[in-house]
Amino acid sequence: MAVSSYARPESLVATDWLVTRLDDPDVVILDASWHMPATKRDAIAEFRARHIPGARFFNIDTIANTTVKLPHMAPDEETFARMVGALGIDNHHHAVVYDANGGAGAAMRAWWMFRLFGHTRVSVLAGGFGKWLAETRRVESGETTQSHAAVFYARIDPRLIRSIEDVRMNIGSGHEQLIDVRSAGRFAGTEPEPRAGLRGGHIPGSTNLPFPVLLDPANHMVPRSAKDIARAIDQAGIDRNRPIVASCGSGVTACVLAFALHLIGDEAAVYDGSWTEWGGRADVPIET
């Protein structure tokens, strides 16, 4: 992984870097692991069984807007500030996020949430917990407690998030490119959705770029090189000079595209409700 080849290399840190900073009070380590319900995996139980020393659990399902039926929707500023502060994180901390899937979604969702609420001192651990374990690095078990809560100030950046109303209006204007990172089969409507009750297909005018092509599966899901990321985006017919909005199943893997673009010097907003919202409604158009 040639981190120096990225336009924003500080957003991705290596395990070698983190292992020397486990006791650094300026660095807070967050396990943001999350699994699809069908996997029957319990991310919190797995965290309690073993995690990177000193890590705290960042739950994308509870640090969320829990008043709506959609999963892990971004909360308001007050909720995010209160819940992140309860983890002992303030605006001066350097947050390093990882997950059990090697950063293939949940860690990047946590990274995106911090940036959404104005905190730019946040990085993803390259390779996540899978790479940490493969290197037989030290782990610990049980809960991780902090001595006291902190004060965190949050201010949302509206450039980084889109609502269903925004996406519906964009179908007519075509001002922003909507990039769907689900599989080609789900995009086409030929493959069943993992969540029951959702229609198949895609938002009219959207482009398909399955998120795994941005990652290196042979290396614990580390993002590909800047050159390879740019090539994949170009081959999908995406114009990096025009605004980009990422969409997926429920707003998690869309953040892989947002993160990859950020690494190479670009930005993308995320349609937070994604297909769980769009495909679950009968009053919006769908293409197959």
What is the set of active-site residues?
248
CA distance 233 to 277: 25
Which residues pair with residue 98 across a beta bridge? 31
- Alpha helices, DSSP H only, in the chain? 15-19, 43-49, 77-86, 106-116, 128-134, 164-173, 184-188, 226-235, 254-263, 274-278
List CB contacts of 70: < 8 A, sequence separation 6 or more. Answer: 250, 273, 276, 277
Instruction: Say whether 40 sits in a helix, a strand or coil.
Output: coil
Instruction: Say whether 84 sits in a helix, a strand or coil.
Output: helix
CA distance 208 to 221: 20
Residue 26 has which token pair?
């300026």
CB atoms within 10 A of CB 47: 24
Q: Is the dihedral of CA 99, 185, 260, 246 positive or negative?
A: negative
* CA 159, chain centre distance (Å): 16
| β 222-223/215-216 pair status | antiparallel
The torsion region of residue 105 among left (phi > 0), alpha (psi -120 to 50) and beta comes to: left
Among 155, 264, 168, 260, residue whose Cα is nearest residue 213: 260
